[in-house]
Amino acid sequence: MPYPQRPTLTQFLIDERKRFPEAGGDFNSVILNIALVCRRISHAIACGALAGINGSADSTNVQGEEQKKLDVLSNDLFIEGNKWGGQLAGMVSEELDEPYRIPKPYSRGAYLLLFDPLDGSSNIDVNVAVGSIFSVLRTPDSRRPTRAEDYLQPGVQQVAAGYAIYGPSTMLVLTVGNGVHAFTLCPQVGEFMLTHPNLKIPEDTCEYAINTSNSRFWEDPVRRYVDECIAGKTGERGKDFNMRWIASLVAEAHRILMRGGVFLYPRDNKQPQRNGRLRLLYEANPIAFIMEQAGGRASTGRQPVLEVTPTAIHERIGLIFGSKNEVERIEDFHKHPLQIDSPNPLFHERSLFTESPNMQ
C-alpha cells in the first residue's frame, strides 16, 4: 500500500533546530538515539514469546518491584544505546538504584537522560500496550562528574520529554517545548514518520481513569470527584461518564492525548509514608510536560506537577492529568473541601467551627 509522503523524525528535528541556529547538533542526537532504542524495544516486544522475553527476571528493582525480563532488557538497551554518544553526562533509570555513570571520556555531555525503560510491565505477558517514557534535562555543570542532586530539577526545566507506545502500531510522542508531535514507526522503512503534528487535548471530557480498587484509601477530594462521575446525569455534573483503566500510564496518556479524558493516580492512604504511586522524575514530569504542551493540565491535586522540586531520584508523587477543565475541577476540590452537611451553618467545614469526628 503506498503511504503518503511524511517528514521523518530526523527531518522534523532538523527543522526544529532552525529555530535555534546557535545550538549544536547534540540535542538532535540525544533524541535520535532514544528513538533508535525505542525501535529496538518495539522489535523485541513484537517478537514476544518467540524471543523468550516474556515473564519474570526473578529479580527486584530499587522500588522493591518484581522485574520482568523485558524491564531488564529495555533498561540495558537504553543504557547501551545512549552511553557512547558524548551528548549525555549521566542517566537515571527506574531500574537502577543509583544514577548511571557514563564512562569517560563520553561523560561530559550537555544533557541528562531520565527514563522508565518499560512502563506498564504488568501488561507484557497479556499482550496489552506498554511503553517507554523519557525526560531530558540540561547538565548543570558538565566540567565536573554528575551528582545525584543534578537530576533534582523541577519539571519546568525539562528541555524535551516523550514516550514510545508499543501498541498495534509503535509511536513516538515528543515535545521539545514547542507543542506535541507524534510519529508512527513505519515497519517497512524503519523510520518514525510525523503522523500527528500539534496534538491538542480537548478541554472537556466524559471519560476518567482511576484504579477503583484503591477507593477505600482515597482522600475526600478524589472520592468526591469520582462519586460525581459515577452519579452521571443524576448528579451534579448532569452528564454520564465512562471509565477506563489499562494499568499502563503510557497507554492512558496516549488515549487522553488523542481524545481527551482525565487520569488519576492520586496520593492516598494506602502507604501513607509515600506521596503517590508514580515516579516524579521519569513518569510524572515527562507526561506532565506533554500534557501541558498539548493544552491539557497536570497536577498533584495541590500544585502543578511541573513546579514540584524533587528531593530524591526515585521520589513518588500523586498524579492527575488530562483535559484542562476536569483537572482544574479536581484541584478546586482540593482547595475547597466539601462543606459537611450540618443543620447548623456554624459547623460547616469552612465555617468558624468544624465538627469533630465524634459529632457526626
Ligand X SMILES: O=P(O)(O)OC[C@H]1O[C@](O)(COP(=O)(O)O)[C@@H](O)[C@@H]1O
Residue list for the binding site for substrate: 119-122, 211
Beta partners for 319?
265
Annotated binding site for Mg(2+): which residue ranges?
A: 94, 116, 118-119, 283
Q: How far is the C-alpha of 310 from the C-alpha of 351, rounded, in Å?
A: 35
Q: How far is CA 227 from CA 197, 212, 223, 224, in A?
A: 36, 11, 6, 5
Are 252 and 246 in contact, with CB atoms under 8 Å apart? yes
**Residues 259-278 contacting ligand X, CB under 6 A:** 265, 277
Beta strands in 288-354 (DSSP E): 297-299, 316-317, 319-322
Residue 185: name its binding partner from Mg ion, ligand X, none (Cβ under 5 to 8 Å by kind): none
**Residues 142-181 contacting ligand X, CB under 6 A:** none
Q: What DSSP line would sit under 121-188, residue for residue?
A: GGGGGGT--EEEEEEEEE-S-TTS---GGGG---GGG-SEEEEEEESSSEEEEEESSS-EEEEEEETT
DSSP 341: -
| Site membership for ligand X, residue 119 (CB under 6 A) | yes
**Residues 65-94 contacting Mg ion, CB under 5 A:** 94
Residue 248: name its binding partner from Mg ion, ligand X, none (Cβ under 5 to 8 Å by kind): ligand X
| Site membership for Mg ion, residue 119 (CB under 5 A) | yes
C-alpha cell recorded at residue 136: 531530558
> What totals of helices (H) and strands (E) does the chain contain, helices first?
7, 16
Closer by beta carbon to Mg ion, 60 or else 178: 60
Are 196 and 169 in contact, with CB atoms under 8 Å apart? no
| Site membership for ligand X, residue 247 (CB under 6 A) | yes
Closer by beta carbon to ligand X, 64 or else 238: 64
Residue 153: name its binding partner from Mg ion, ligand X, none (Cβ under 5 to 8 Å by kind): none
Q: How many residues bind ligand X (CB under 6 A)?
A: 13
Closer by beta carbon to ligand X, 167 or else 232: 167
Closer by beta carbon to Mg ion, 94 or else 331: 94
Among 211, 212, 215, 271, binds ligand X (CB under 6 A): 211
Q: How many residues bind Mg ion (CB under 5 A)?
A: 4
Closer by beta carbon to ligand X, 270 or else 335: 270
Residue 326: name its binding partner from ligand X, Mg ion, none (Cβ under 5 to 8 Å by kind): none
Which of the ranges 113-121, 122-130, 148-156, 260-268 carries the binding residues for Mg ion, by CB under 5 A?
A: 113-121
Q: How far is the C-alpha of 35 from the C-alpha of 18, rounded, in Å?
A: 20
Are 285 and 152 in contact, with CB atoms under 8 Å apart? no
Closer by beta carbon to ligand X, 53 or else 249: 249
The residue at minimum Cβ distance from ligand X is 249
| Site membership for ligand X, residue 67 (CB under 6 A) | no
Among 121, 135, 158, 285, binds ligand X (CB under 6 A): 121
Are 217 and 270 in contact, with CB atoms under 8 Å apart? yes
Residue 247: name its binding partner from Mg ion, ligand X, none (Cβ under 5 to 8 Å by kind): ligand X
| Site membership for ligand X, residue 248 (CB under 6 A) | yes
Closer by beta carbon to ligand X, 88 or else 249: 249
Q: Is the peptide bond before 7 cis (omega within 30 degrees of 0)?
A: no
Among 16, 116, 191, 268, binds Mg ion (CB under 5 A): 116
H or E element: which one contains 357? none
Half-sphere exposure of 92 (CA within 13 A, CB side): 27
Among 109, 120, 301, 322, binds ligand X (CB under 6 A): 120
Which of the ranges 20-28, 33-41, 112-120, 168-176 carries the binding residues for ligand X, by CB under 6 A?
A: 112-120
Smallest CA-to-CA distance from 328 within 355, 359, 300, 297 is with 297
Assign 119 to helix, strand or coil. strand
Angle at CA of residue 113, ends 109 and 118, nearest 5°: 150
| Site membership for ligand X, residue 96 (CB under 6 A) | no
C-alpha cell recorded at residue 121: 510491565
For ligand X, the binding residues (CB under 6 A) are: 65, 94, 116, 119-122, 211, 247-249, 265, 277
For Mg ion, the binding residues (CB under 5 A) are: 94, 116, 118-119
